[in-house]
Amino acid sequence: MFFFFVLVEMREVKEIRLGQFSKDFGRWPEEAKRITPLRCFILFYGSEFKLKSLSIAALSQKECELWLRGLKNLIADTIVAPYPLQVERWLRKQFYAIENNREVVTLKDVKTFLPKVDCKISTNKLRELFQEVDTKRRGEIGFDDFAELCHKLMFDDSTFKDILEEYSSDSDMGRIVTLHDLTKFLVKEQGENVDGNQVSQHMRDYLQDAQRDVIEPYFTTIEFLDFLFSEQNELWHSIYETVCQDMDRPLSHYWIASSHNTYLTGDQFSSESSCEAYVRCLRMGCRCIELDCWDGPDGMPIIYHGHTLTTRLKFIDVIRTIKYHAFDTSEYPLILSIEDNCSLPQQRYMATTMQKVFGDSLLKAPIDKNETVLPSPAVLKKKIILKHKKLPDGADDGSILLRTEDGRDMDLRNTVKNGVLFLEDPVDREWNPHFFVLTQNKLFYTDSFHGDQDFDDEGEGEEESSQNLSHLRPKEGTSNDELHFGEKWFHGKLPGGRAEAEDLLKAYSHLGDGTFLVRESETFVGDYSLSFW
């Protein structure tokens, strides 16, 4: 038995899914079979498009239900938490990450922490602010002093000095912003049409503090500054929060939230294809998603970015995923944009599968046989629509375009071969991978290639192969982001220095006066040397 710890921030949890629908359960199939899916759930969390997942198996079905109920309540509570509490939670998270075993932090700890939150400040200024909050002169501070220091860093006194002098009052607790002060500020500075009663309720809703749930609440100066940057003081006017659009017009009259290459989690050459990418897009509100369909093994279509190294998905897995999540966010119709590169037998399989999986949700016939315009989104609620371009008679090929260096589009399906080959770098003498495309009269290749996914080449008449490119890494030590990196006249680091540059110019002297080359300077690191013939 082994134990491990995973920290998941509740605000980053995007979905809790009951069952065993994750790769983690697939990695241990024997163990997963011994556990009923009703005892399992998956947390999907993160701030990037590609979410992380945490797969969990409870000891019993009842315990699983309790976990799900508790987690959902925690997430809901986190989302609606008052802004001051959100700020405090964030500060505590940062403090706990850098504190020592005595639950304090030093100036050195704070200095290390600031670059992580993009805060640039001189050491002298930071030391000055640290000493202001370190009233006991111990060279270390607890959480309360750390929070005060962070507020000093966020809110420069010189920026808000005039505002605080005009819109705050003296009290036994120091300077505070009273109900009258805030009302005057909102009316005079922000041009809001509010009265004292509205502002009082607004302040109580913001604070959610039982001790200040009174007719005339107040803000501390720090709370006031936090309020200025909170959602409760956002520029968006509340009258626009209720959207009442006419959804009874023809479907073609609307802008539709669409996704291209929906299945990809990264680049279009070698990234991972994932069913979770479909889930993510659907939950983000997309109403048109793309399926690139190709002939797969055993008569089963697959989805991937054709003629590239992206991983493959089973068509049936994608369809089932879409079925489960099609209307999680919106009840308006979902359009499946199908780029069909499959043979007729596999197209028939696709049609049968979609009818079976989607059932009555699939739009298979016109709503009105006599219609002269497309149906409206309101009429098509909870419907799945197929957008499909039929192949010409006798054709079974689709097309994939590659943009060449002269700006023209080249159909990858008309190429002789494509894949990964290695080139020796003329400067570092290292072999680096590039994605090559061979045509009848020309060979194209990318400047660089980053391969970290398994892939297989299922070309017609070729034996299936699987290669692992996880060992490939972009070359280090050579700056290839310069605009001149790929130019013929740029020679990078010449081992022979000036003498080798002179030999090269002599070798190409037939090009005439003005022949030149650029190399990296040996004397001034980071600069370049220009040599002319």
* DSSP summary character for residue 374: P
Q: Are 255 and 285 in contact (CB under 8 A)?
A: no
Region of 406 please: left (phi>0), alpha (psi -120 to 50) or beta. Answer: alpha
Residue 92: C-alpha distances to residues 142, 143, 145, 207 (Å):
11, 7, 12, 18
Backbone angles phi, psi at 52, to 5 degrees: -85, 160
Q: Which of 381, 350, 346, 349 is nearest to 363 (CA)?
A: 381
Residue 400: C-alpha distances to residues 292, 459, 462 (Å):
11, 15, 20
Active site residue 307: no
> Cα–Cα distance between 525 and 528 in angstroms, integer?
8
Q: Which of 392, 397, 374 is nearest to 294 (CA)?
A: 397
What six digits make up the tokens of 515?
């022949």
Active site residue 237: no
Region of 344 please: left (phi>0), alpha (psi -120 to 50) or beta. Answer: alpha
**Annotated catalytic residue: which of 305, 307, 325, 491?**
305
Bridge partners, residue 412, by sequence: none
DSSP per-residue letters across 131-161: HHH-TT-SSEE-HHHHHHHHHHHHS-HHHHH
Q: Is 405 exposed, middle or buried (0-12, 13-18, 19+ CB in 10 A)?
A: exposed
> Cα–Cα distance between 226 and 339 in angstroms, integer?
50
Residue 384: C-alpha distances to residues 85, 207, 337, 481, 525 (Å):
42, 45, 11, 44, 60
Q: Are 232 and 206 in contact (CB under 8 A)?
A: yes
What six digits make up the tokens of 129?
């602010």
* DSSP summary character for residue 216: S
Which string of b and e fits 315-352 if b means at least 16 CB within 10 Å?
Answer: bbebbbbbbbbbbeebebbbbbbbbbbbeeebbebbee
Sequence length of the chain is 533
Q: How many CB atoms lie within 10 A of CB 488?
A: 8
Residue entry with tokens 């391969």: 451
> Cα–Cα distance between 262 and 49 in angstroms, integer?
12
Residue 263: C-alpha distances to residues 47, 50, 278, 313 (Å):
19, 11, 6, 9
Backbone angles phi, psi at 440, to 5 degrees: -65, -30
Bridge partners, residue 220, by sequence: 176
Catalytic residues: 260, 305
